[in-house]
C-alpha cells in the first residue's frame, strides 16, 4: 500500500539540514498484490485502488493467464483476510489449479515477497517527495519493472 502521505522513516541529511517531506491534503491510497516465482524469482503483480478480495483474485487471474502450462500453482500466502474470504474461496473452488499454503502475517523469514514489499517501501514510498499519486505510481512501477529477478540485491538500482 502507498498513499500520497509518505511513510516517515529514518533518513540521513547533512548536519543542520532537514529534508522537506511534502504531505498533500488528499489521502488517496493505492495497493499492490504480488507473487514471487520460487524458481525464477520473477515478480508478478497487479494494482488497485482498494485492498479487497477483488485485488487478490485479480492477481490469481493474472497468474493463471501467465502460467498456463503448469497443472498446479502453489501459493504461499499470509493469513490476511483477502486470501481467505468467501469471495476468494469461491473463486479458488472454481479454479482448482491453485493450492494455498497459509503462513503468519508479515513473515519475512518465510514469505520472501514480504522482503520485496519492504524494499519497495524503503526505496520508493518512504520519505518520498511526490506531489501527486500519478507521480508516485510511476516510481513504483519503475521499481517493480527493474526489480526482477528478486531477491538479487539489485533493488538499490531501482531508486528513482
The three three-digit cell numbers of residue 112, written as one number: 520472501
pLDDT band at 10 (very low <50, low <70, confident <90, very high): low
Per residue in 77-120, pLDDT tens? 988 899 999 999 999 999 999 999 988 876 777 777 888 888 88
Helix axes 86-94, 53-66, angle to 10 degrees: 20
For residues 88-118, b (16+ Cβ closer than 10 Å) or e, as one string?
A: beebbeeeeebeeeeeeeeeeeebebbebbe
Per residue in 37-80, pLDDT tens? 888 888 999 999 999 999 999 999 999 999 999 999 999 998 88
DSSP H helices, 23-85, are 53-66, 81-84
Angstrom distance (rounded) from CA 66 to CA 61: 9
For the chain, give every domain's residue range: 31-116+130-153
Nearest to 143 by CA among 32, 38, 20, 6: 32
Top-level class of domain 31-116+130-153: alpha beta
Predicted pLDDT of residue 3: 47
Amino acid at each position: 500500500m502507498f498513499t500520497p502521505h509518505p511513510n516517515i522513516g529514518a533518513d540521513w541529511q547533512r548536519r543542520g539540514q532537514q529534508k522537506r517531506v511534502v504531505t498533500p491534503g488528499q489521502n488517496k491510497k493505492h495497493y499492490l498484490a504480488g507473487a514471487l516465482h520460487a524458481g525464477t524469482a520473477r515478480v508478478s503483480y497487479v494494482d488497485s485502488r482498494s485492498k479487497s478480495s477483488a485485488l487478490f483474485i485479480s492477481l490469481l487471474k493474472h497468474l493463471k493467464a501467465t502460467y498456463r502450462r503448469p497443472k498446479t500453482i502453489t501459493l504461499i500466502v499470509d493469513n490476511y483476510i483477502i486470501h481467505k474470504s468467501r469471495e476468494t474461496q469461491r473463486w479458488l473452488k472454481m479454479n482448482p489449479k491453485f493450492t494455498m499454503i497459509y503462513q503468519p502475517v508479515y513473515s519475512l523469514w518465510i514469505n520472501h515477497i514480504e522482503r520485496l514489499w519492504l524494499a519497495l517501501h524503503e526505496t520508493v514510498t518512504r520519505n518520498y517527495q511526490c506531489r501527486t499519486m500519478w507521480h508516485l505510481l510511476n516510481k513504483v512501477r519503475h521499481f517493480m519493472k527493474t526489480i526482477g529477478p528478486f531477491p538479487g540485491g539489485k533493488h538499490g538500482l531501482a531508486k528513482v
